[in-house]
Amino acid sequence: MSDADTTDDPGDLRTPIVAVLGHVDHGKTSLLDKIRGSAVIEGEAGAITQHIGATAVPLDTVSEVAGSLVDPTEFDLPGLLFIDTPGHHSFSTLRSRGGALADIAILVVDVNDGFQPQTEEAVRILKDTGTPFVVAANKVDTTPGWNPNPDSPIQQTYEAQSDRARSDLDEALYELIGEMSDHGFSSDLYWRVQNFQKNVGVIPVSAETGEGVPDLLTVLMGLAQRYMKAEMEVDVAGPGAGTVLEVKDEQGFGKTVDVILYDGTVRSGDTVVVGAQNDPIVTEVRALLKPRELAEIRTEKRFDDVDSMQAAAGLKIAAPDLDDAMPGAPVRVVGDRSVEEVVAEVEAELAEVAVETEEEG
């Protein structure tokens, strides 16, 4: 995230938001856990930050995990923000004003199992929303005779396998590339892809052993940097815009909303408009909450109060009158605009989400 002293610069770059999709049991949760775990081990303590509903992996940590695959001087995006709730259901209900809330997605496919119904649904949603994605061909460690090299880049461990294991894996990967083609996507092993706008990169990985995870982070970072930099140029000091992940009761706060902030800043005391079942809610932020650091978790307090948060981030907003707030609905800081204008904006967006949900249903 940018330093406070750079927030006056309207050209600030925000963190790209990453979502994980795929069929049940193909390894979405394990892969997210592995990314978080390797980032904690490799990075400085506290280098990865747990947000509400999301995990931020800063560029320094990406480059430590990726080792020789990443030269951090090639990047100026601050890192990657992973949405913690995997699955296409959360993906398709989470919108931003541009379309999908996530800027980029990982489609997890069990390399032995190939395309399954939820994989098909996920690619359809990715296509409809025009979300760039990579395929994580997961569970490569289950290839018969596989000799794991934990956390190593995929080509290194691939070279170290027996001919038999390599050819078994090749076969599974080519089948997967064929299935991608049947679904209208030209794809190839990522190191053969020249133009990621035309071809989807397939990254063989194991969420179990961490093999290929350095490659996955490298490719995500590279894609974001090369093709999304313009979209990441937001006015981070401007009025915040986000999407409700969940509406939750919290002891001492009443109803709260967990929000992924994708633009601007939200401050304690800000007037915000939140999409709801009926009319949008106009309320004032009473507290902005983020998870406590692990070391302090023994105390009763689970959250830290902060004065402000900048995109991209996951945070909890405590405010009066949030009972009717709706997951998937927009949240907007009013800022200098009139409340009516912002309410109208939120209503228009809600109407759009409702139409799209019906089309999908």
Binding site for GTP, residues?
22-29, 84-88, 138-141
Please pick, from the candidates 38, 63, 131, 138, the single residue that binds ligand GDP as defined by CB under 6 A: 138
Among 43, 53, 79, 86, binds ligand GDP (CB under 6 A): 86
Nearest-angstrom CA–CA distance, 133 and 343: 33
- CA quadruple 186, 192, 196, 198: dihedral sign: negative
Q: How far is the CB of 211 from ligand GDP (least distance, A)?
A: 8
Going from the C-alpha of 262 to that of each of 148, 253, 303, the distances in angstroms are 38, 24, 21
CB under 6 A: which stretch of 6-14, 149-157, 205-213, 253-261 binds ligand GDP? 205-213
Binding mask 212-251 for ligand GDP (x = CB under 6 A): ----------------------------------------
Under the binding rule (CB under 6 A), the answer on residue 26 touching ligand GDP is yes
CB of 85 to ligand GDP, least distance (A): 10
- Residue of minimal Cβ distance to ligand GDP: 27
**Residue recorded with tokens 């990985």:** 205
- In sequence order, the 6+-apart residues with CB closer than 8 A to the CB of 76 are 13, 225, 229
Name residue 4's amino acid.
A
C-beta separation of 117 from 23 below 8 A: yes
Contact between 88 and ligand GDP by CB under 6 A: the answer reads no
Which residue, 22 or 330, is less far from ligand GDP as judged by CB?
22
* Given 7, 112, 116, 142, the residue binding ligand GDP (CB under 6 A): 142
How many residues belong to the chain?
Answer: 361
Contact 183, 118 (CB under 8 A): no
Backbone angles phi, psi at 174, to 5 degrees: -70, -35
Query: Candidates 25-33, 53-61, 251-259, 314-322 — which segment interacts with ligand GDP by CB under 6 A?
Result: 25-33
Instruction: Note whether 204 and 158 are within 8 A (CB).
Output: yes
Q: Which is nearer to ligand GDP, 143 or 283 (CB)?
A: 143
Considering beta carbons, is residue 152 or 265 the nearer one to ligand GDP?
Answer: 152
Question: Contacting ligand GDP (CB under 6 A), which of 141, 151, 179, 263?
Answer: 141
Q: Nearest-CA neighbor of 222 among 12, 59, 2, 1?
A: 59
Please identify which residue in 6, 8, 24, 320 interacts with ligand GDP, judged by CB under 6 A.
Answer: 24
User: Quick check: 191 and 199 in contact, CB under 8 A?
Assistant: no
Residues forming the site for ligand GDP (CB under 6 A)? 22, 24-30, 86, 138-139, 141-142, 206-208
